[in-house]
Amino acid sequence: MNINIMDYLSNEEIKEICKEELRDKIRKLFSNEKETTRIITNLSYYELWKEIEKEVPNCKELIKEKTKEKLNEISSYDVLRKKGEFNSKNSVAQDILENCVIENKNIIEDKVKEILNSLSKTDIKYDIKGIIEEYIENLFKGDE
């Protein structure tokens, strides 16, 4: 069964209903603060890039090039930075490293066991002796 809406409503009535529905949809959309913030942020982002592009043609390409250049200059501190007094969180690479270590814990344990099993009693004696000497030395220096 097909219903022709034009049999029941005029063009003006259809337009008015469409306008009302659109107003209602916009009201609902903008009554949600999170959604409003998202829309405004997206619009701002779009407009900002248009203005930047006017002032600095090919700015996105320049940013990509400079980013690659700067990535080649970073140190291990920048890449493998742990959360601490001056850093609110680990670097992304530090998190990846920690996750890899956790995921491969069994491989590390096996390697440690292999190394310990390959040490002779003499090796272990000298290692323990060195640890004790270092500990006593640190006690006299005041290091803990």
pLDDT (average), residues 12-28: 91
Under the banding of pLDDT at 50, 70 and 90, the label for residue 59 is confident
> What whole-number distance in Å separates Cα of residue 18 and Cα of residue 119?
83
> What whole-number distance in Å separates Cα of residue 98 and Cα of residue 92?
10
In this model, does residue 34 exceed pLDDT 60?
Answer: yes
pLDDT (average), residues 74-93: 79
- Joined together, the tokens standing for residue 134 give 């270092």
Query: Can you give the pLDDT at residue 88?
Result: 83
In this model, does residue 144 exceed pLDDT 80?
Answer: no
Query: Can you give the pLDDT at residue 16?
Result: 94
Q: What percent of the chain has pLDDT over 70?
A: 99
> 91 or 20: which carries more pLDDT confidence?
20
> What whole-number distance in Å separates Cα of residue 53 and Cα of residue 37?
24
> What whole-number distance in Å separates Cα of residue 6 and Cα of residue 21?
18
- Joined together, the tokens standing for residue 38 give 């998202």
Query: Can you give the pLDDT at residue 80?
Result: 79
- Joined together, the tokens standing for residue 37 give 């913030």
pLDDT (average), residues 126-144: 84
Under the banding of pLDDT at 50, 70 and 90, the label for residue 90 is confident
> 51 or 78: which carries more pLDDT confidence?
51
> What whole-number distance in Å separates Cα of residue 101 and Cα of residue 90?
15
CA atoms within a 13 Å half-sphere pointing along the CA-CB vector of 32: 9
